Amino acid sequence: MQLPRDLWDDGESRQAARPDAGAAGISPEERRLAEASCLVRWVLPRPVGSPTCLLVITILLSLLLDPAFLLTQGHQDLPSVEPNSSLNVKFDPKKMQLTWDCKENTTSGHCVMTHKEKGQIKKQMKRCQCTFQDNSLHGGVTLTVEVYVNQRPISETLVYTNPGKEGTAAQNFSCLVYNADFMNCTWAKGHAAPDDVQYFLYIRNSTRKGERECPHYLTDAGTNVGCHLQDLSGLTSYNYFLVNGTSRETGIQFFDSILLLKEIERYSPPHNITVNCNESHCLVRWEKPRTRKNWSNREFQYQLDIWRRSNSGHSENQLIVVSGDSENRYNFPSPEPRGTQMVKIRTADARRAHWGDWSQPIQFGSEEPESSLVLVYVLVVLGTLAGGLACGCLFKRFLGSHSLFPPIPRIRDKLKDDHQIDHQGPAHLTRPGRATSPHCLQLRAVPPSADPSLRCLSPRLSCARRLHASTRSPARISVLNPHGCRSRGP
């Protein structure tokens, strides 16, 4: 749009303000701005209602409402970016590194890994690359890069897939560390894998500086289905395991996994197990097992099984769990007499009950407690019976020799007793014979030529009294003469 010539005033100021004045090569947008500026300067001194002022306002509105002018003003503050720009994103699974082509004036950016199991994992950009921690990739991941070039965001997405035929990868993969120095890994053949498939295991530690292949494969029908390692010195806390395969018929998918050695280690039984008992309790002590790393006591837990030997290895009680903070000891009541008992112990990690093997049973207590106890009871009963019988016999003998209630002697009539003795005659007293009762006396005749000291010099009554008194003892009586005198015989 050209301005009328009469709108420009004479003088240097108008000449300097003209849009065609100045250096050549002015853009159309700058020319329009210059023309609008000139109109504003020219119309300011004019009255508002003058025809010239109305004409200038109309020209200004036509300039400001021009679509080309508005479009230019709307985009003049944004830098120009090449359309359909590509970052050329690349991913290295061994290094877990995402790279792209750096653009000039790239200010910032970040990367996102979308994992099927862990979700989104974000990392900040460092020198046009992002490095992720080790993650399993056999399920595929989606990688996204978003950067700012000249303060404008640009993003690009890369889908990383597992190449090969579906179902050909190794399955049921697992590893186990045992005896602190050995590890076995096993897997199964994929259900869609061809007959000539062959698998290979590679292990990389967390530093990504060392990668080694399995030294000793375990095979089944010519196919590698396991690996045995006898040296774990190069492994770290967590390691990356990769099982890939080859076949002449089709492509074989890979399988990978991240395993923590502490989680897959099965601890050995504790050693130096001892049992010490007193009259009421027994104390079990042990030492922690040897592991791949020297863990503290609180990293372990123990399980004890205590049973009687007569139960053929079956525990009567529930298994006893003891924390590693208990100083590797367990005290339990076991009063005497105690039978033969057995104890065995196994170990697990304090955070997960992945129990190892049982230790060899340790025996404590007496050899044959039941039979010994029965024998003691029998001896006590027999001793009691024997003692009772002995006491009864002694008591009976005592009663036989010393009567508890001896008979009270009656008062005899001397005249009557002597008269009865006289009537009985000496023949009755001197008649020899053997007693028919324990209380009867055996009498024998003594010839007159016997020792005079045996003769009775007392009267007849005295001899009868002596005879009566002598009948209290079982001794024999010898009669000296037919007149009633008698003497004790041997």
Q: What residues does each domain of the chain span?
A: 5-74, 90-160, 171-265, 269-367, 414-488
Q: What span, in angstroms and rounded, lies between the C-alpha atoms of 430 and 446?
A: 9
Q: What is the pLDDT of residues 199-246, one digit of tens each?
A: 999 999 888 777 899 999 999 999 999 999 998 888 888 899 999 999
pLDDT at 184: 95
How high is the pLDDT of residue 11? 40
Each residue of 412-438: pLDDT tens digit?
665 665 555 555 555 454 455 554 555
Supply 382's token pair.
Answer: 């027999």
Average pLDDT value for residue range 144-169: 89
Q: What mean pLDDT is predicted for residues 63-87?
A: 50
Cα distances (Å, whole numbers) of residue 374 to 279, 310, 388 = 20, 16, 21
Q: Is CATH 2.60.40.10 the classification given to domain 269-367?
A: yes
The CB density around residue 189, as the number of other CB atoms within 10 Å, is 21
> Comparing 90-160 with 171-265, is the CATH topology the same?
yes
Q: Do 445 and 429 meet the contact criterion of CB atoms below 8 Å apart?
A: no
Which residues neighbour 96 within 8 Å (Cβ) at sequence distance 6 or greater? 131, 132, 133, 134, 135
129 backbone dihedrals φ, ψ, rounded to 5°: -160, 160
- For the chain, first and last CA: distance in Å? 186
User: Is the predicted pLDDT of residue 4 greater than 50, yes or no?
Assistant: no
**In whole numbers, what is the pLDDT of the chain averaged over residues?**
75
Question: How many Cα atoms are found within 13 Å in the side-chain-facing hemisphere of 125?
Answer: 20
Q: What percent of the chain has pLDDT over 90?
A: 30
Would you mind telling me the total number of residues written for the chain in this entry? 490
The model's pLDDT over 306-329, given as tens digits with 9 standing for 90+, comes to 888 776 555 566 899 999 888 899
Q: Using an 8 Å Cβ cutoff, are 452 and 440 in contact?
A: no
What's the pTM value of the predicted model, to 2 decimals?
A: 0.57
pLDDT (0 to 100) of residue 8: 40
d(CA 149, CA 82): 11
Residues 6 or more apart from 67 whose CB is under 8 A from it? none
* pLDDT score of 31: 62
pLDDT of residue 18: 41
If one counts every other C-beta atom within 10 angstroms of the C-beta of residue 262, the result is 17
Least confident of 128-132, 313-317, 355-359: 313-317
Q: What is the pLDDT of residue 190?
A: 93
DSSP-derived pairing of the beta strands 265-266 and 171-178:
parallel
- The model's confidence at residue 406, banded by pLDDT at 50, 70 and 90, is low
Tokens of 398: 């005592």
**C-alpha closest to that of 240 among 254, 257, 263, 216:** 257
Return the residue matching tokens 């055996």: 442
Q: Which fold would CATH assign to domain 90-160? A: Immunoglobulin-like (2.60.40)
pLDDT, position 46: 55
Please provide the CATH number assigned to the domain covering 171-265: 2.60.40.10
pLDDT of the residue at 108: 81
In this structure, is the dihedral angle defined by the CA atoms of residues 445, 448, 451 and 455, taken in order, positive or negative? positive
